[in-house]
A = this chain, B = another copy of it.
Amino acid sequence: MTGTTSASSSPLALAIDFGGTKIAVGVVAPDGTVVDATEVRTPAGQGAEAIAATLTKAAGDVLAGPHGARVAVVGVCSAGPVDVRTGTASPLNVSDWREFPLMERVAAIAPGLPSAFALDGVALAAAELAYGGAKDHRDALVITVSTGIGGGLILDGQVRAGQSGNAGHIGHLVVDVDGPECACGGRGCVEAIASGTSIARWAVDNGWQGEPATAALAEAARAGDELALAAFDRAARALAAAIAGTAALADIEVAVLSGGVTQVGEVLFEPLRRHLAEHAGLSYIRGITVVPSPLGRSACLLGAARLAFAALPDPIA
């Protein structure tokens, strides 16, 4: 050692993104570079311990890899709800885990390392604020539309986590009091209308004969299929209502959208902007913009790492 600090000697973060479909694990540098990453399927339905074992193995493999020795901190995010006070996760779409002691297991994976724990949407918001679509904004809503709908709130230049850690959970904003039942136990949540699952279900219920997936629906919509167009219009309208309502309530200036469903592009964004113009009547929310996220599928890992670096005794921003 010569006393100089090079990029290759800076501390790294082990980042874990736990979701209902996949578990992603990576090693991330303070500048947001992902130096190692792996992904495994979540064995949902096989019991709490089987899922924990899969996570433990994936994390252990990464720690045993070429960058493991430099890992100094652990950042974890999970599908919600979570409880950051107790370090537990109860993901709606992973019924095996209810108040599962996720952070207790993480402590066993990487003993002695400081850690941070967040809702996946909160981690995503941290990534969008640092590197993505919310970078130049004080107040933003981050939304990810895939199997479910998650998100995070950036207020006064800070990610809001809330006391339980679940702030930003935009998927459960109620936009239709008479709407369909939601997995959360409520009704008419934007997730129950505009998630990938909900879009496909509505299309099938209304006569869609093709593959029940948003990619197939998007292709049909681009070719002018009326049912497919209506499916995205309906979802876009619910998202627009949620964005307009959040803007009215929290005084935000931009909504950053990511997630598999947003990959369909203008098939979703065109009706979204149109309905937003219709719903955003108040003077102070008329200027709200909707932008697709420039970040890729590692966004949550980046955010989890960022929150972890910020939680170090000597924080790295």
- B-contacting residues of A (Cβ < 8 Å)? 81, 83, 90, 92, 138-139, 153, 155, 160-178, 182, 184-189, 237-238, 241-242, 244-246, 248-251, 253, 278-284
Contacts and interface: CB of A to CB of B under 8 A. Distances in A.
Q: How many copies does the complex hold?
A: 2
Nearest to A173: B245
A179 to B, nearest CB: 8
Contact of A278 (B138, B187, B250, B281): B187
A251 B166 contact: yes
A245 B174 contact: yes
A284 B245 contact: no
Contact of A174 (B138, B178, B242, B284): B242
B139 A163 contact: yes
A160 B155 contact: yes
B164 A284 contact: yes
23 contacts: A153-B249, A153-B250, A155-B155, A162-B250, A162-B251, A163-B253, A164-B284, A167-B250, A167-B251, A169-B248, A169-B251, A171-B248, A172-B281, A172-B282, A174-B241, A174-B242, A175-B188, A176-B178, A184-B282, A185-B282, A186-B279, A249-B249, A249-B250
A118 B207 CA distance: 51
Q: Which of A178, A237, A279 counts the most chain B CB atoms within 10 A? A: A279
Contacts of A242: 174
Contact of A281 (B166, B170, B186, B284): B186
Contacts of A161: 251
A90 B284 CA distance: 10
Given A176-B178, A177-B175, A178-B176, A282 B169 contact: yes
A251 B139 contact: no
Q: Which of A175, A187, A244, A280 counts the most chain B CB atoms within 10 A? A: A175
Q: Which of A162, A185, A187, A278 counts the most chain B CB atoms within 10 A? A: A162
Nearest to A138: B163
A139 B155 contact: no
Q: Which of A155, A176, A283 counts the most chain B CB atoms within 10 A? A: A283
